[in-house]
């Protein structure tokens, strides 16, 4: 069994993934988008888990908390935004979340990591006032939590660029009841209006607080004001002293210069949210990508990431092999939805919509999508591959590949140019026929042996969709 990106089924839409290892399994807690949704996080919380020694074997744990389980949202009008989970001093598991229309943090509890969570209460000051509602409190958003002994550290905040009313992400110390504020909130690091001279310039905090401790260092992970990147800062204490360290991952691969110019976007991007995990002695960064040409149908992604001797990380490259532990086998049939690069000669970076450039991707651009409705277990594919549209897959270990079959449909008459680099030499052409149904077309294409990427660039009239390809 091999692992792909996205690592969950192509019909599942779990953004904001926070990975946690409990026992011999890794659990991912995230919000839950809807396919073709009109807003963020329309569905209830679900959980997926995998054995720590087989990150290709993900199991659906079911719904762990419904939006109507919160007594302040019994009508279901609010959406469950990005959550986090921590194991409390009593050994139980605590789910922290914020509902989109409220400014305070709710908490639910369960005896198991992925059981049915029951509403517990709201994070509150000692006088009973909810955190976020007392005069002087900033609104709470995107909680990240870390428990050490009897103390739980709660990290929250949303700081729109150029908004001086938001000073930065906040850290709040909670007591052993997991609800009561013992200390704080205090500002952890500066927002954009206050960042001059801080070292965070150009990568200031926007949202998506996440916290981990590796060795003696605390790692605060967040989404910066450019949205597509997850950055991190470190400190030797949990409540301050954080120094900017760099970018962990970008969901358009910006800043990566190993296979293309550093500032060339390689996938249509927007916001980002995720967390670090150490699994079986290796480090991974979990994040999400955008599909369907909008901001509202996001999927779970993960990459291995290298830690340097000084505790810093090397930015992870977006790949199709993600949690596989190495390149994919260079033979067999692969689904097209595992593409990690998607672009045309008409460069465009953001999906658009809220926080983007105000426009959704239009008919000039290819998108990752599926048939059916939300929840239908339909395979994902790439829609609207028109002239110069390129989809890329990284990486495969090719051995004596001499033929490639593509499965396409659409009103198109043209061909795919096959390459092992986005701007590389053409190694062969595969005809793309006009067909209303999925149809296989095979061509002789010899790929070089060894570990390489695989790119298909469409040339011709009309547009086609790509469901899968087979290497022989």
Active-site residue set: 16, 207
End-to-end CA distance of the chain: give it in Å, rounded.
19
- State the maximum Cα–Cα separation within the chain, in Å, rounded to a whole number: 74
Residue 95 DSSP code = E
Q: Find residue 354's DSSP bridge partners.
A: none
- E-state strands within 30-91: 45-51, 59-65, 84-87
- Alpha-carbon dihedral angle through residues 324, 325, 326, 330, given to the nearest 10 degrees: -40
Tokens in use for 313? 């990380």
3-class SS of residue 211: strand
Q: What residues contact residue 427 under an 8 Å CB cut-off, 6+ apart?
A: 418, 419, 420, 445, 446, 447, 448
Tokens in use for 46? 């679900």
Q: Distance (Å, rounded) from C-alpha 192 to C-alpha 97?
A: 25
Q: Distance (Å, rounded) from C-alpha 344 to C-alpha 422?
A: 11
For the residues of 407-455, what is the DSSP string, one character each? EEEESEEEEEEEESSTT----EEEEE--EEEEEEEEEE-PPPSEEEEEE
Q: Whose CA is closest to 132, among 121, 140, 144, 120?
A: 140
Q: Distance (Å, rounded) from C-alpha 427 to C-alpha 420?
A: 8
Q: Whose CA is closest to 147, among 96, 82, 110?
A: 96
| CB burial of residue 116 (10 Å; 0-12, 13-18, 19+) | middle
| CB burial of residue 247 (10 Å; 0-12, 13-18, 19+) | buried
Phi, psi dihedrals of residue 211, rounded to the nearest 5° = -135, 140
Chain-centroid distance, C-alpha 358: 21
């Amino acid at each position: 069994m091999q692992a792909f990106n996205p690592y969950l089924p192509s019909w599942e839409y779990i953004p904001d993934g926070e990975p946690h290892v409990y026992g011999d399994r890794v659990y991912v807690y995230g919000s839950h988008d809807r396919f073709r949704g009109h807003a963020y996080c329309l569905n209830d919380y679900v959980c997926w888990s995998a054995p720590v020694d087989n990150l290709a074997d993900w199991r659906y744990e079911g719904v762990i908390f419904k939006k109507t389980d919160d007594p302040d949202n019994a009508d279901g009008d609010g959406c469950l935004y990005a959550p986090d989970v921590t194991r409390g001093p009593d050994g139980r598991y605590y789910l922290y979340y914020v509902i989109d229309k409220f400014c305070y943090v709710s908490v639910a509890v369960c005896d198991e990591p992925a059981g049915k969570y029951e509403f517990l209460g709201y994070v509150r000051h000692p006088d009973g006032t909810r955190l976020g509602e007392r005069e002087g409190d900033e609104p709470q958003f995107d909680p990240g939590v870390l428990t050490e002994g009897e103390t739980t550290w709660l990290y929250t905040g949303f700081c729109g660029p150029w908004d001086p009313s938001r000073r930065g992400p906040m850290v709040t110390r909670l007591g052993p009841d997991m609800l009561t504020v013992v200390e704080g909130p205090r500002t952890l690091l500066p927002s954009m209006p206050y960042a001059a001279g801080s070292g965070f310039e150009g990568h200031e905090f926007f949202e998506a607080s996440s916290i981990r401790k590796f060795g003696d260092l605390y790692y605060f992970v967040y989404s910066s004001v450019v949205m597509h990147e997850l950055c991190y800062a470190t400190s030797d204490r949990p409540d301050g002293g954080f120094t900017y360290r760099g970018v962990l991952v970008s969901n358009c691969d910006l800043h990566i210069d190993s296979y293309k110019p550093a500032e060339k976007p390689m996938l249509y991007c927007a916001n980002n949210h995720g967390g670090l995990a150490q699994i079986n002695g290796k480090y991974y960064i979990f994040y999400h990508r955008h599909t369907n040409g909008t901001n509202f149908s996001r999927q779970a992604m993960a990459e291995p990431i290298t830690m340097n001797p000084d505790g810093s990380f090397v930015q992870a490259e977006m790949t199709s092999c993600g949690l596989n532990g190495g390149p994919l086998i260079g033979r067999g049939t692969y689904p097209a939805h595992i593409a990690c690069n998607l672009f045309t000669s008409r460069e465009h970076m953001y999906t658009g919509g809220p926080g983007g450039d105000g426009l959704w991707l239009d008919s000039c651009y290819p998108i990752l999508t599926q048939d059916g409705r939300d929840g239908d277990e339909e395979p994902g594919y790439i829609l609207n591959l028109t002239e110069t549209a390129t989809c890329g897959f990284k990486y495969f270990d090719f051995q004596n590949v001499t033929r490639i079959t593509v499965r396409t449909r659409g009103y198109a008459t043209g061909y795919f140019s096959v390459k092992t680099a986005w701007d590389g030499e053409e190694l062969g052409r595969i005809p793309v026929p006009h067909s209303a149904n999925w149809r296989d077309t095979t061509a002789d294409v010899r790929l070089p042996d060894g570990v390489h990427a695989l790119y298909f660039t469409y040339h011709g009239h009309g547009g086609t969709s790509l469901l899968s390809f087979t290497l022989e």
